[in-house]
Amino acid sequence: MTDLFNSFMSGPDEHGRFGEFGGRFVSETLMPLILELEAEYEKAKNDPSFWAEMDDLWKHYVGRPSPLYFAPRLTEHLGGAKIYLKRDELNHTGAHKINNVLGQILLARRMGKTRIIAETGAGQHGVATATVCARFGLKCVVYMGAHDVERQAPNVFRMRLLGAEVVPVTSGRGTLKDAMNDALRDWVTNVRDTFYCIGTVAGPHPYPAMVRDFQSVIGREVRWQLAEQEGEGRLPDTVIAAIGGGSNAMGLFHPFLDEPSVRIIGVEAGGKGVNEKFEHCASLTGGRPGVLHGNKTYLLQDDDGQILEGFSISAGLDYPGIGPEHAWLHETGRAEYVAITDAEALEAFQLCCAQEGIIPALEPSHALAHVMKIAPNLPADHIIVMNMCGRGDKDIFTVARHLGFDIDTGA
Amino acid sequence: MTRIDSKFAALKAEGKKAFVAYVMAGDPDYETSMEIVKGLPGAGVDIIELGIPFTDPMADGPTIQLAGQRALEAGQTLERTLQMVREFRTGDDETPIVLMGYYNPIFNRGVERFLTDARQAGVDGLIVVDLPPEEDDELCIPAQKAGINFIRLATPTTDDARLPKVLTNTSGFVYYVSITGITGAADAQAADVGPEVARIKAHTELPVVVGFGIKTPEAAQAIAGVADGAVVGSAIVGLIGEGKSPAEVLAFVRSLSDGAHRA
């Protein structure tokens, strides 16, 4: 019991709870499979051969470890803290998503599942899943909101090239949460041969813990990489990451939860501003606890408990919930959560291009925007590590539109 | 004894199977929905399942999804659903009413407050799709304490090892989901369902009622023949979605209940 009170890293409990958050809120049809998955994951987690296979793929297929890069011009420009970027945008498929997908697909293979389903918003998790399915010759079906299919056409084409079937979701309002609903409906129908590869630290237990464990490679690398560059035992003073569902953030944060000197900041998508009109996706700063997609967590919802649509310039943050472990870290105060608006993220996006020659995705641009706010007021020996969780190629069309640049005519 | 227990005792005495009808509360609007619900007992319905609309009904097919959207667009809330039960009870104090839906609207209202209000309104049972036995502390146990039946779903993936866990803390009846899938999808087959119902009955004294994939009077008869009753939802809700009048909807319900009662 003592451990539970002294450690932030021992969760979830045997019921899949982080404090009151998490759990297994799924229909009975799925429950036996969820329990089987939990047992299989426990086995795999303690099997060195599972991690040996992961390490091999991470190294040779994904390109890990991703560099921990000191950003000299950003640091100088902001004139305060020393800024490091964890370059997960250099992974194969251009984002952190593949870290987790590899783990889940290896697990699916162990369980004898032959058909993989996934949901995707911006398309990054869908592309990562289609990629790994192609690598292992598995059938792949990706559910994607009809609206996202339209605005993310290049990723739809990528998934099809990789052999996946992309199903445009028109149920509900045709967004990421509806894509997740349809994936769950598929799963409940094809439960015997299908594995649901969830893209973030949400869903029923064991998904939040399992996805976190697969993404924690990010934070573990940061620990030794920073020690290499700054001296043995040197920890970051602040770690910071963007949050939609929260998988890249959980991956960076988790290895530092029990280091009290490390300040932990999650950045939510503030859209047009966190207000009562809900034109944002900031579940923690602008929502309250509820139950959706298999877990209890903070949600955007109305007075009747109906789920609201989020709003963000970044399709990857456009989700009305957040991983349950974040909800718990928020309530315990171990991590801070802030919101950044579309306009602030766009400014950070441009600054990163100009100062470091890195075109970031809109998701980490939110994290960078918060770095821009805090770095100038911190001393030069304060080290910030920010997760550059995705590259911006997918977002140049959106950004062009907001900056008034016609990408077809070049004017 | 809830109204559900009394109803099954009475049906057993008559040697009849139960016919359970599902409609979404407030679909397509409060008044029309109220008219249909009030007409259900007269159309031979033994137990009414009243759906609580929710934006994200992840175990439901398109028919029920759209019904929920229509109800929400017409302004249905959990409070108005409870109001429907209160209004129904002014003219009918016998027909059991089971509220069926997802946990978030209930959690949002507050479990204790919801149970007090539901009990006072005249609700007899709850079916909450996303609360498996692993989450019994959330609502199941408090509901039983408040005198409201908590009706559990058993499914084709619920094996013998797991059945006792599913049946513990279940009351009123057991709802056997005939297929692995969502509402309104594949057809339930009596030949598959019969042995499954027998398997469940070996573990419990409770009546076992079968739902999902029952669309016609013939199917209602065949399925009720191998169980203690049959549930029809999507086929009825589909007619409401087509804009059929309450009289037309109730005529179809009558054909279904006749089918089930022939079993």
Instruction: Give the pLDDT confidence score for residue B119 in this predicted structure.
Output: 98
Among the listed residues B5, B49, B117, B136, the single catalytic one is B49
Look at the alpha carbons of A281, A282, A286, A292 in this order and tell me if their dihedral is positive or negative: positive
Asked if residue B259 lies in contact with residue B217, where contact means CB atoms within 8 angstroms, the answer is yes
Instruction: Select from A23, A25, A189 the Cβ nearest to the Cβ of B182.
Output: A189
Taking CB atoms and an 8 Å limit, are B157 and A28 in contact across chains? yes
Residue of chain A whose alpha carbon sits nearest to that of B73: A306
Taking CB atoms and an 8 Å limit, are A27 and B130 in contact across chains? yes
Which burial class, exposed, middle or buried, applies to B112 when counting CB atoms under 10 A from its CB (0-12, 13-18, 19+)?
exposed
In which element (H, E) is residue A239 found?
Answer: strand A238-243
Instruction: Give the pLDDT confidence score for residue A25 in this predicted structure.
Output: 98
Taking CB atoms and an 8 Å limit, are B132 and A171 in contact across chains? no
Question: Tokens 């094809």 label which residue?
Answer: A190
Instruction: Give the pLDDT confidence score for residue A411 in this predicted structure.
Output: 76
Geometric angle at alpha carbon B249, from B248 and B253, rounded to 5°: 115
Q: Has residue B12 been placed in a domain?
A: no
Instruction: Give the pLDDT confidence score for residue A61 in this predicted structure.
Output: 98
* C-alpha of A225 from chain center: 22
Residues of chain A neighbouring B78 (CB-CB closer than 8 A): 304-305
Residue of chain A whose alpha carbon sits nearest to that of B104: A291
Cα(A52)–Cα(A58) distance, rounded to whole angstroms?
A: 10
Taking CB atoms and an 8 Å limit, are A305 and B156 in contact across chains? no
| Residues contacting residue B138 through CB under 8 Å, at least 6 positions apart | B103, B107, B111, B131
Taking CB atoms and an 8 Å limit, are A305 and B78 in contact across chains? yes
Note the pLDDT tens digit of each residue in B39-50: 999 999 999 999
ipTM: 0.96
Instruction: Give the pLDDT confidence score for residue A278 in this predicted structure.
Output: 75
Residues of chain A neighbouring B108 (CB-CB closer than 8 A): 290, 301, 303-305
Taking CB atoms and an 8 Å limit, are A301 and B153 in contact across chains? no
Total-model pTM: 0.96
Q: Has residue B113 been placed in a domain?
A: yes
Q: Is B79 a catalytic residue?
A: no
Instruction: Select from B105, B106, B180 the Cβ nearest to the Cβ of A191.
Output: B180
Residue of chain B whose alpha carbon sits nearest to that of A169: B62
Q: Has residue B243 been placed in a domain?
A: yes
Token pair of A62 as six digits: 């994904």
Q: Is B49 a catalytic residue?
A: yes
Question: CB under 8 Å, gap of 24 or more: what pairs does A76-79 form?
Answer: A77/A351, A77/A355, A78/A371, A78/A372, A78/A375, A78/A376, A79/A375, A79/A376
Indicate which of B56, B60, B117, B179 best probes the interface with A, i.e. most A CBs within 10 Å of its own CB: B56
Note the pLDDT tens digit of each residue in A23-51: 999 999 999 999 999 999 999 999 999 99
Taking CB atoms and an 8 Å limit, are A188 and B162 in contact across chains? no
Instruction: Select from A29, A294, A306 the Cβ nearest to the Cβ of B177.
Output: A29
Note the pLDDT tens digit of each residue in B83-123: 999 999 999 999 999 999 999 999 999 999 999 999 999 99
Note the pLDDT tens digit of each residue in B117-172: 999 999 999 999 999 999 999 999 999 999 999 999 999 999 999 999 999 999 99
Residues of chain A neighbouring B60 (CB-CB closer than 8 A): 185
Chain B contact residues (CB < 8 Å to A): 54-62, 65, 69, 72, 77-79, 102-109, 129-135, 152-159, 162, 166, 177, 180-182, 185
- CB contacts < 8 A, A to B, total 121
Instruction: Give the pLDDT confidence score for residue A318 in this predicted structure.
Output: 82
Asked if residue B212 lies in contact with residue B183, where contact means CB atoms within 8 angstroms, the answer is yes
CATH code, domain with B208: 3.20.20.70
Residue A172's region, left for phi above 0, alpha for psi from -120 to 50, else beta, is left
| Residues contacting residue A75 through CB under 8 Å, at least 6 positions apart | A81, A82, A83, A375
d(CA B135, nearest CA chain A) in Å: 7
Residue of chain A whose alpha carbon sits nearest to that of B54: A306
Cα(B178)–Cα(A290) distance, rounded to whole angstroms?
A: 29
- Residues of the domain holding B145: 3-7+17-262
| Average pLDDT of chain B, as a whole number | 96
Measured in residues, chain A has a length of 411
Q: Has residue B108 been placed in a domain?
A: yes
Which burial class, exposed, middle or buried, applies to A37 when counting CB atoms under 10 A from its CB (0-12, 13-18, 19+)?
buried
Instruction: Select from A24, A171, A289 the Cβ nearest to the Cβ of B135.
Output: A24
- When divided into structural domains, chain B yields a total of 1
Instruction: Give the pLDDT confidence score for residue A2 in this predicted structure.
Output: 41
Instruction: Point out the residues of chain A with pLDDT beneath 50.
Output: 1-3
Residue of chain B whose alpha carbon sits nearest to that of A290: B104
Instruction: Select from B77, B135, B180 the Cβ nearest to the Cβ of A23.
Output: B135
Taking CB atoms and an 8 Å limit, are A25 and B131 in contact across chains? yes
